[in-house]
Structure 1
Amino acid sequence: MRTLVIGDIHGGYKALTQILERAKVTTSDTLIFLGDYVDGWSESAETIQKLIDLSSSNKCVFVRGNHDLWCGLWLDKGATNPVWLAHGGKETIHSYIQSGLLANASHKQFFKGLQNYHIDSRNRLFIHAGFTSMHGVGKEEYESNYYWDRTLWEAALLADKVEEKTLEEMLTSPKRFNHYKEIYIGHTPTTEYKISTPIKAYNLWNIDTGAAFTGKLTILDIDSKEFWQSDTLPSLYPNEKGRN
């Protein structure tokens, strides 16, 4: 029995099916998805349907990303905004119209049921973007930080550079991290750092390996840290631009 965490998919249904096959996922595996299921490549509706199907065969945890918030509002209330439309929203709308899944009530329920974060039995936190409160998630926190914040990731990169801690460094260490054994995030592509694989910084793992752009989709075993990746998304969708 494994617990596998999956990075930002962004409508890359073909990449999702690839990593499930390459990781040899079975019904005994727990799957934790870090959000941003839609907006980018042409198969957002198909991606959501696959996730719904997986939830009937596997134990699944679905965390909310910023793109999922936008898409959920559109499906529920017909609400759009220029930022969403310019960052993959048009492709998602087209996917729902072309697939015939627009009227599928289970898709609306999927987005309504997303979690802002998940903490497992071993005190490992799974969240799309981050949080700012020194007390951890769920306390003194704006909900939007869970799917927008990048300061947690930036702080992890800085903290990871400290090899030998002095007393002063211990007193000023990033207290946000100390609440959890490990933290898993998406939201900020590792390809921005010219790295195509997951990055560990401090006790935080970034699993977003750029599937929205020129990178790959990643699935990682949180115990062994073994991971599997899809082909690059542009190679799977050669006639599309994704979010480039």
Structure 2
Amino acid sequence: MRTLVIGDIHGGLKALEQVLERAEIAPSDTLIFLGDYVDGWSQSPQVIDYLIELNTKNRCVFIRGNHDDLCYEWLTKKKNNPMWLQHGGKATVEAYNKVKATTIKRHIRFIEDLKNYHIDNENRLYVHAGFTNLKGPKFEYFPEMMYWDRTLWETALSMNKDLDPSNINYPERLKLFKEIYIGHTPTTRIGLDVPYNAANVWNIDSGAAYKSPLSLIDTETKQIWQSDPVHTLYPHENGRN
């Protein structure tokens, strides 16, 4: 009975199928997806279809990402957002132009049901980006921060690695949970294409929207599985590049 955490997919269904196969997922596994299912590669609708079906076979937890929220705004209001289109939204629009209205309605419900965060029985937090309230995500004044905030990750990265949680200077936010699993900020920004741990924060976004693999991690053993670099699976596409 494993708990497996999957990073930002960004429309890369081929990478998702590949990494789940390599991890040899079983019906007893709990799968926690950290958000950003869409925007980037050409298969955003197919990713959501796949996840809806997967949820009938495994216990799945689906976290809301900022790109999922931006996509929702377009699906429900046809809201034009030039920045979104430049950062992966164009591929999503093109893909959904080929999708039936009944499927779009099902996908809208999927996005509406996404969770802003999840806390498991081991007091591990799963959230797309972070949170700012010192009491935790439950008390966040602006829920959007949970899928937009980068300060939690920046704080963890900037810490002295020898700083003990009992130290008065240890960040209060990090004391709330045994571990925190996030996506949102690709580890490629610090020169890596694998999940990275800073303090008690694990960043699982290894840059699948760009030219890096999609990653999956076992919360107990910390074993990591990865797809091939996603751009090699979509050789005629640019992703978010």
Separation of aligned partners in 1, 2:202 and 2:163: 21
Separation of aligned partners in 2, 1:166 and 1:115: 28
Separation of aligned partners in 1, 2:141 and 2:44: 30
Q: 2:6 aligns to what?
A: 6
Separation of aligned partners in 2, 1:64 and 1:117: 8
Separation of aligned partners in 2, 1:236 and 1:28: 29
1:102-117 equivalences under 5 Å are 102-104=101-103, 105-117=105-117
Q: 1:197 to 1:10 in 2, by over 3 A?
A: same
Q: 1:46 aligns to what?
A: 46
Q: 1:195 aligns to what?
A: 192
Q: 1:231 aligns to what?
A: 228
Separation of aligned partners in 2, 1:203 and 1:162: 10
Contact 1:70 1:80 in 2 (8 A): no
Q: 2:23 aligns to what?
A: 23
What number of residue pairs does the alignment pair up?
A: 240
Any gaps of 5 or more consecutive residues in structure 2?
none
Residues 1:163 and 2:142 aligned together? no
Residues 1:68 and 2:65 aligned together? no
Separation of aligned partners in 2, 1:131 and 1:153: 10
Matched letter for residue 163 of structure 1: D
Any gaps of 5 or more consecutive residues in structure 1?
none
C-alpha displacement at 1:166, in angstroms? 11
Indicate the SS of the match to 1:171: coil
Separation of aligned partners in 1, 2:175 and 2:80: 38
Contact 2:9 2:16 in 1 (8 A): yes
Separation of aligned partners in 2, 1:214 and 1:90: 18
Matched letter for residue 14 of structure 1: K
Contact 1:36 1:66 in 2 (8 A): yes
Q: 2:133 aligns to what?
A: 133
1:203-214 equivalences under 5 Å are 203-214=200-211
> Any runs of at least 4 consecutive aligned residues in structure 1 with deviations exceeding 3 A, and if so which?
164-167
Separation of aligned partners in 2, 1:22 and 1:35: 20
Separation of aligned partners in 1, 2:113 and 2:29: 21
**Which residue of 194, 199, 221 corresponds with 2:218?**
221
C-alpha displacement at 1:102, in angstroms? 4.5
Contact 2:165 2:175 in 1 (8 A): no
C-alpha displacement at 1:78, in angstroms? 2.2
Contact 2:88 2:240 in 1 (8 A): yes
TM (norm. structure 2) is: 0.96
Residues 1:173 and 2:202 aligned together? no
Contact 1:65 1:147 in 2 (8 A): yes
Contact 1:196 1:215 in 2 (8 A): yes
Indicate the SS of the match to 2:102: coil
Q: 1:181 to 1:166 in 2, by over 3 A?
A: closer
RMSD value, Cα: 1.5
Deviations 1:174-230 (A, max 9, x none): 110001010000000001111111100000100000000111100111111111000
1:132-151 equivalences under 5 Å are 132-151=132-151
Q: 2:88 aligns to what?
A: 88
Deviations 1:138-179 (A, max 9, x none): 2143111101111000111122x2415598xx2121110001
